[in-house]
Structure 1
Amino acid sequence: MMPKAVVFDIGRVLIEYDPERFYDAAIGPERRKALFDAVDLHGFNLRVDRGEPLHDTIGEAARAHPEFGEEIGLWASRWIEMASPEIPHSVRVLRALKAKGIPVLALSNFGTETFEIARAHYPFLDLFDQRYVSAHLKEIKPDPGIYHALEQGSGFAPGDLLFTDDRPENIDAAKRRGWRVHLFEHPQGWADCLVDHGLLSKEEAA
């Protein structure tokens, strides 16, 4: 039986997300390495994804590490440059699924403010029938609660869902619940998966 709904992660699936690449371009690889060795920026960002305010959290990091204060501030002021560009093939298959009337859901670790920045920059994020965002739910992948929230909110049984994500631990958590899963490594592999499940033709998935 075909899946009844398709669930997308967003970062590194529909849009690229590479803070290190951004910082290499903005401040140079040597300064970036020193910054990331001294400051757990990904840890601060995880707090944002759990629902803490973006500017307050990044401000706390800057105050704790004044020697890198200006560079840390870029995480908030130029965040969209870390989350760019879109991945065109992935966006095309999202649009193709939507055009066929197949329910498309988003399940993503995202901050409240950063998600609104992304929505303004990427209108295709409003194509989703439902969006399950970690900061809104105060639940984060791969914790079970965020998957449960999608199941309860959407009404789809686990076996009805086909989910793609770039992180193996997030895929494994969904698989343990009975979801069908695809580890996203490149958009062609995801397109082929959708064809294999009978959701799109090869032409629609191109």
Structure 2
Amino acid sequence: MTRPEFFYFDLGNVLLYFDHDLAFRSMARIAGIAPQRMRQVVMDTDLQIQYETGLISGEQFIDAIAQSLGRSLDTREMLRAAADMFIPNHQVLPVLERVAGLGIPIGLLSNTCEAHWQWILEQQYPQVADRFEPVILSFEVQSMKPDPLIYQVATEKAGCDPAAIFFTDDRLDNVEAARRAGWQAEPFTSADRLLDTIRGWGEP
């Protein structure tokens, strides 16, 4: 594997861990229903996909949930409950510093929704704050990994040959899609494993 000119990080389960069950418990408590019922309403339909691809707004997302449950819900309260599910992965900080030390630009490529992204920015996690340019988010480009379009957008934003881009993601299907786009890509299993890969590129 050759040293890249650009490095894209995934967000969920790489920079930040997330727990959907925590979000569903919080949302269910507000709605006065069982967490499993909330999970069914969101995950057993295409609601989450529509929201993460920017096809519906946060207000429309909560309105659809409210309609399914037959009750009124406060949009802001529900969206914050849906977003309060992230835990920073502190072990990845040395990876970010190592890549920056090599002078390799870093970007972010994530399937996420507006509520989650706004919550993450508010928390000012050191794993995320002011580190990435560009930031490619599924809800903004209306395409989710592993769809080829989001990789095409990310390639154009990186401004280099696809073969010069390195990407890590916790999902193998997203890694394989990156390889089909011509990128170098490896699944994220741990910060230590990723550091080993980066050390193989040598010093600046």
Alignment of 1:178-193 (within 5 A): 178-193=182-197
CA distance in 2, matches of 1:77, 1:50: 19
Q: Which moved more, 1:170-179 or 1:110-119?
A: 110-119
Equivalent residue, structure 1, for 2:199: 195
* TM-score in terms of structure 1 length: 0.81
Q: What secondary structure, in the 3-state scheme, does the structure 1 residue paired with 2:135 have?
A: strand
Asked if structure 2 preserves the Cα contact closer than 8 Å seen for 1:49 and 1:109, the reply is yes
Residue 144 of structure 1 is aligned with which of 135, 148, 169?
Answer: 148
Q: Classify 1:39/1:45 alpha carbon distance in 2 versus 1 (closer, same or farther; 3 Å).
A: closer
1:50 maps onto 2:56 in alignment: no
Asked if structure 1 preserves the Cα contact closer than 8 Å seen for 2:7 and 2:166, the reply is yes
CA distance in 2, matches of 1:161, 1:117: 28
Q: Classify 1:59/1:26 alpha carbon distance in 2 versus 1 (closer, same or farther; 3 Å).
A: closer
Asked if structure 1 preserves the Cα contact closer than 8 Å seen for 2:110 and 2:136, the reply is yes
* TM-score in terms of structure 2 length: 0.82
List runs of 5+ in structure 2 lacking aligned partners: none
Q: Classify 1:156/1:166 alpha carbon distance in 2 versus 1 (closer, same or farther; 3 Å).
A: same
Q: Which amino acid counterpart does residue 193 of structure 1 have in structure 2?
A: T
Q: Higher helix proportion, which one? A: 1
Asked if structure 1 preserves the Cα contact closer than 8 Å seen for 2:5 and 2:105, the reply is yes
Equivalent residue, structure 2, for 1:101: 103
Q: What is the CA RMSD across the aligned residues, in angstroms?
A: 2.9
Alignment of 1:1-206 (within 5 A): 1-23=2-24, 31-37=34-40, 39-40=42-43, 43-51=46-54, 52-66=56-70, 76-82=79-85, 84-121=86-123, 122-123=125-126, 124-198=128-202
Sequence identity percentage: 24
CA distance in 2, matches of 1:94, 1:42: 36
Q: Which moved more, 1:168-177 or 1:13-22?
A: 13-22
Q: Which amino acid counterpart does residue 148 of structure 1 have in structure 2?
A: Q
Asked if structure 1 preserves the Cα contact closer than 8 Å seen for 2:23 and 2:83, the reply is no
Q: Classify 1:145/1:182 alpha carbon distance in 2 versus 1 (closer, same or farther; 3 Å).
A: same
The aligned length equals: 197
Equivalent residue, structure 2, for 1:203: none
Q: Measure how far apart 1:38 and its partner are.
A: 5.1
Moved over 4 A (4+): 24-28, 72-75
List runs of 5+ in structure 1 lacking aligned partners: 201-206
Asked if structure 1 preserves the Cα contact closer than 8 Å seen for 2:145 and 2:174, the reply is yes
Q: Classify 1:110/1:26 alpha carbon distance in 2 versus 1 (closer, same or farther; 3 Å).
A: closer
Q: Which moved more, 1:185-194 or 1:36-45?
A: 36-45
Q: Measure how far apart 1:125 and its partner are.
A: 3.4
Asked if structure 2 preserves the Cα contact closer than 8 Å seen for 1:110 and 1:134, the reply is yes
Q: Which amino acid counterpart does residue 140 of structure 2 have in structure 1?
A: H
